[in-house]
Copies of this chain bind each other. A is one copy, B any other.
């Protein structure tokens, strides 16, 4: 179908996407300006986060792009299977956590373990996700002026040619952005019914899980596991490395890690560290997982639901085959700081070039490719960035851990809440939006925060937060820490806090900034 001259509004887009998903529309959806005779500056293979933002940027710079996606919508896996359901499930986990701790008090009824249905919440997501897709199709066409073909696979013929539904399109450059998928571990029985990853969970779950075993200790394992447990489904995480270890995440402060992981255990989760799955057991459907524990013994964990959270691997195979692009040992396409692959004129972006598989990186990769294609030399360094995950908390961090700071600086000062030696139950802080009810009922659950300072330069070098409401701020804190000159505690102390604020960094900095020689707080 050709929608170029139509101006479908959001509800019409939603209907198109709905029908494409049921197969009622099985042809490509074209939004290509056939009257425009200019060549394409770039074809974006994959219209996910990176492809869409890169396309918008290239178009804004005056270039012409074509974006192709196999799904009937732009935006990729984030709103379809990844970030958006993760956030819905994490919000559900947070609300269920509150309902459980406050069970039978205030207006909260007695908490019924059986009440929260994972299936129902998954179905809620599934039934609503096309709203975001419809918006992005509309925005990309009507507001951003992009050209695209959806609901059609792109086959790369050579570095200037892409075939879509039998038609060949040519461009000066290609931008590859087809993402990653779960790296499924090679374990007997992993293909049984009842084994899911984040993608198949939202696509295929059709029963209510009674118990869960998670294989792997990635962010996804922590996030989805916390949701399953909060919903009343007893969950066991089987992980080789300790959760949130430096093997999988950078700059995780020990105290932050401890607060988060202890909090998961407090909520009933079983975490088996140093453990390896041996076999997924079942006959058609999963019935158990055999696990070799840290002490070498093998234990059988009965379960009707296995979730794979071992991390992801780039979908690079087709491009290795068609273009011969260089990949690294993990299969990620190798690019330079301008997103250029080993093949001239071919760029790669997003999850396809490896970790961190985060939204900011995908989008900025797209932007970086677009700028370079349009003749502006532009480098993107994503070696440092703010990070987050959810347990039943929002957990955010940026910059150095206390231990890292002590390795690099002679005089490190820490401002933290609760202060060392103070019992968490004695001090209901940090708190604000999201932890006030805990503050007055279970102060030990309100969270933890730490600000790490190089006392000599007076610069803040790391910020760490477990609680609620601070995630948005870390975007700007990252920026402030990175600026030339960084963020001195004295500048922090001059800011205008909105009180109560979820993180107390400004006011706590002010309480110390008067000191010529800084000390802990």
Q: Are A478 and B499 in contact (CB under 8 A)?
A: no
- Answer yes or no: A476 CB below 8 A from chain B CBs: yes
Shortest beta-carbon distance from A512 to chain B in Å: 7
Which listed segment binds B: A291-299, A326-334, A432-440? A432-440
Q: Which A residues between 120 and 135 are near B, CB-CB below 8 angstroms?
A: 120-121, 124-125, 127-128, 131-132, 134-135
Which listed segment binds B: A87-95, A205-213, A242-250, A258-266? A87-95
Which listed segment binds B: A184-192, A311-319, A450-458, A501-509? A501-509
Q: Are B427 and A131 in contact (CB under 8 A)?
A: yes
- Determine which of B78, B437, B501, B506 lies in contact with A88 in the assembled complex, contact meaning CB atoms within 8 Å: B437
- Once bound together, how far apart are the Cα atoms of A443 and B10, in whole Å? 13
Q: Are A478 and B496 in contact (CB under 8 A)?
A: yes
Which residues of B sit under 8 angstroms from A127, Cβ to Cβ? 440
- Answer yes or no: A429 CB below 8 A from chain B CBs: yes
- Once bound together, how far apart are the Cα atoms of A472 and B503, in whole Å? 7
- Answer yes or no: A109 CB below 8 A from chain B CBs: yes
Which residues of B sit under 8 angstroms from A84, Cβ to Cβ? 500
Q: A124-B106, A471-B469, A500-B84 are in contact. Are A131 and B428 (CB under 8 A)?
A: yes
Which B residue's beta carbon lies closest to that of A419?
A: B143
Q: Are B359 and A499 in contact (CB under 8 A)?
A: yes
Which listed segment binds B: A37-45, A54-62, A161-169, A347-355? A54-62
Q: Are B135 and A514 in contact (CB under 8 A)?
A: no
Q: Are B358 and A499 in contact (CB under 8 A)?
A: yes
Which B residue's beta carbon lies closest to that of A493?
A: B367
Number of copies: 2
- Answer yes or no: A1 CB below 8 A from chain B CBs: no
- The number of chain A residues touching the other chain, given as a range, is 35 or more
Which residues of B sit under 8 angstroms from A433, Cβ to Cβ? 87, 90-91, 94, 394, 434, 468-469, 471
- Once bound together, how far apart are the Cα atoms of A497 and B496, in whole Å? 22
Q: Are A427 and B473 in contact (CB under 8 A)?
A: no
Q: A91-B436, A495-B476 are in contact. Are A428 and B471 (CB under 8 A)?
A: no
- Once bound together, how far apart are the Cα atoms of A360 and B506, in whole Å? 10
Q: Produce 1/0 per residue, A210-239, CB < 8 A to B.
A: 000000000000000000000100000000
- Once bound together, how far apart are the Cα atoms of A486 and B461, in whole Å? 23
Q: Are A143 and B10 in contact (CB under 8 A)?
A: no
Which residues of B sit under 8 angstroms from A139, Cβ to Cβ? 419
Shortest beta-carbon distance from A270 to chain B in Å: 23
Which residues of B sit under 8 angstroms from A10, Cβ to Cβ? 422-423, 426-427
Which residues of B sit under 8 angstroms from A501, Cβ to Cβ? 471-472, 475
Q: Are B428 and A514 in contact (CB under 8 A)?
A: no
- Once bound together, how far apart are the Cα atoms of A385 and B514, in whole Å? 22
- Once bound together, how far apart are the Cα atoms of A330 and B480, in whole Å? 40
- Answer yes or no: A278 CB below 8 A from chain B CBs: no
Q: Are A510 and B53 in contact (CB under 8 A)?
A: yes
Q: Are B497 and A359 in contact (CB under 8 A)?
A: yes
- Answer yes or no: A11 CB below 8 A from chain B CBs: yes
Shortest 5 CB-CB contacts between residues of A and residues of B: A60-B514, A359-B499, A476-B476, A472-B473, A107-B116
- 12 residue pairs bridging A and B, Cβ less than 8 Å apart: A56-B511, A125-B440, A127-B440, A131-B426, A139-B419, A143-B419, A144-B511, A358-B499, A470-B472, A471-B502, A472-B502, A475-B501
